[in-house]
Structure formats: structure tokens, C-alpha cells
């Protein structure tokens, strides 16, 4: 089993009507050396300019990205090679990131290798601290700056998760 931190950038709030722009993933282990980066061309003509701008890409650039099915198949292969069996999806904003990866896997490959569940870092930290209101305080443990480059953001989140592990949260490498 491997914990995989995932971060997604998209050009709108929901899959299908809008498109995933890019995403990054990192295996949670001390080196944080196992990473994946994918860029997917739009699946829709609609987009929210402000949402797309967060990713740092223009619409013209986004239109030149790889075919989504190809990217998701590469990601699935990367998970097989790096997850040591079961892959556990972990994210800063599980409700947002999960919907994109789940939709794209099901639509383009027929199934999601993460299964049907994931974990939110803030909830794990709040549980460790036994304080519901601590859910946003874990971000202080990131070392990599939050840049909206999805690999950078996933790495920062994985760094925080490793710190939370040092504090007593038990999970495997």
C-alpha cells in the first residue's frame, strides 16, 4: 500500500462541463522522489478564465496538452509501478481533487485504481490533534512553497503529512 498525495488544477468547478488542466502526484515517503505530472487537453469548450489563470496556462496552451485518456493511462501505469499494491488517494482539498481524478479515470479508462475513497489531510490532522478546528493548521508544515504547480503543491502536502507522521499519526511507507 502507498499513500499518494494528489493535486489538481482545473478550468472550472466541476468535471465534464469544464476540464482538468493538469495534476501532480507524489508517493508519501521520506525522499518524495516518486512524482507524476500530467497535462490534459480540454474536454469541453466551456471554461472559467479566472480558474484557468490559477494554473498559469492560457487557453491556447491548454488546447495543446495531451489527450486525457492517454494521460490517465500513463498515470494508472505509474500507480501500478509505485503504489506497492493499493494506492490511497490523499489531498488537501479532497472534495475538489477527487472529483476530477475519479471522473477522468472512470470516463477514460473505465475504472479508478484508487477505488472509491480518499483521505483529506486536514481531517487526519484534526483527528490527531483531537480538535475539529485544527483542520486548517497543518499547512504550516509544508516546506515546498504552494505555487499552484500541482507537483509542488502535492510535495508540500506530502511534506506536511510526513511531519504529521512524526507527531504520531501511524501510516505505512
Give the residue numbers marked as catalytic: 148
* CA pair distance 118, 139, nearest whole angstrom: 19
| CA quadruple 135, 4, 1, 114: dihedral, nearest 10 | 100
- For residue 91, how many other CB atoms are within 10 A of its CB? 24
> How remote is the C-alpha of 133 from its chain's centroid?
23
Residues comprising the chain, all counted: 173
Helix (H, G, I), strand (E, B) or coil at 142: coil
Can you tell me which residue has the cell 488546447?
A: 63
Task: Give the phi and the psi of residue 46 in degrees, each rounded to 5.
Answer: -85, 145
Amino acid at each position: 500500500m502507498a499513500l499518494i498525495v494528489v493535486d489538481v488544477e482545473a478550468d472550472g468547478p466541476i468535471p465534464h462541463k469544464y476540464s482538468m488542466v493538469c495534476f501532480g502526484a507524489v508517493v508519501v515517503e521520506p525522499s518524495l522522489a516518486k512524482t507524476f505530472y500530467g497535462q490534459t487537453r480540454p474536454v469541453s469548450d466551456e471554461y472559467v478564465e479566472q480558474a484557468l489563470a490559477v494554473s498559469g496556462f492560457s487557453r491556447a496552451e491548454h488546447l495543446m496538452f495531451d489527450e486525457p485518456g492517454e494521460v490517465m493511462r500513463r498515470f494508472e501505469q505509474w500507480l501500478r509501478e509505485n503504489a506497492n499494491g493499493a494506492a490511497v488517494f490523499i489531498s488537501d482539498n479532497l472534495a475538489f481533487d477527487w472529483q476530477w481524478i475519479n471522473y477522468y479515470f472512470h470516463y477514460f479508462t473505465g475504472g479508478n485504481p484508487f477505488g472509491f475513497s480518499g483521505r483529506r489531510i486536514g481531517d487526519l490532522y484534526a483527528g490527531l490533534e483531537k480538535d475539529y478546528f485544527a483542520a486548517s493548521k497543518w499547512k504550516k508544515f509544508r516546506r515546498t512553497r504552494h505555487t499552484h504547480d500541482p507537483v509542488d503543491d502535492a510535495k508540500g502536502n506530502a511534506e506536511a503529512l510526513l511531519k504529521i507522521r512524526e507527531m504520531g499519526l501511524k501510516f505505512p511507507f
